[in-house]
């Protein structure tokens, strides 16, 4: 979320995952440049970029 150069990743304000955290979500997907920084920086290595 902090490293996305487009600033299009946020914590979903209206959803919680089974661990009790707000999951990350991409807003304005059309602005994604497929740079994959989010995937490289994700501490849990759970992001894949399809584009």
Q: How far is the CB of 41 from ligand SF4 (least distance, A)?
A: 8
The footprint of ligand SF4 (CB under 6 A) covers 4-6, 8-9, 26, 32-38, 49
Quote the CA–CA distance of 21 and 30 in Å, as a whole number: 26
* Shorter beta-carbon distance to ligand SF4: residue 22 or 36: 36
* Shorter beta-carbon distance to ligand SF4: residue 20 or 48: 48
Q: How far is the CB of 40 from ligand SF4 (least distance, A)?
A: 9
Quote the CA–CA distance of 51 and 44 in Å, as a whole number: 21
Quote the CA–CA distance of 45 and 48 in Å, as a whole number: 8
């Amino acid at each position: 979320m902090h490293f996305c150069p487009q600033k299009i990743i946020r914590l979903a304000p209206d959803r919680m995952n089974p661990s009790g955290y707000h999951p990350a979500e991409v807003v304005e997907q059309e602005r994604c440049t497929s740079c994959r920084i989010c995937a490289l920086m994700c501490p849990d290595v759970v992001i894949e970029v399809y584009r």
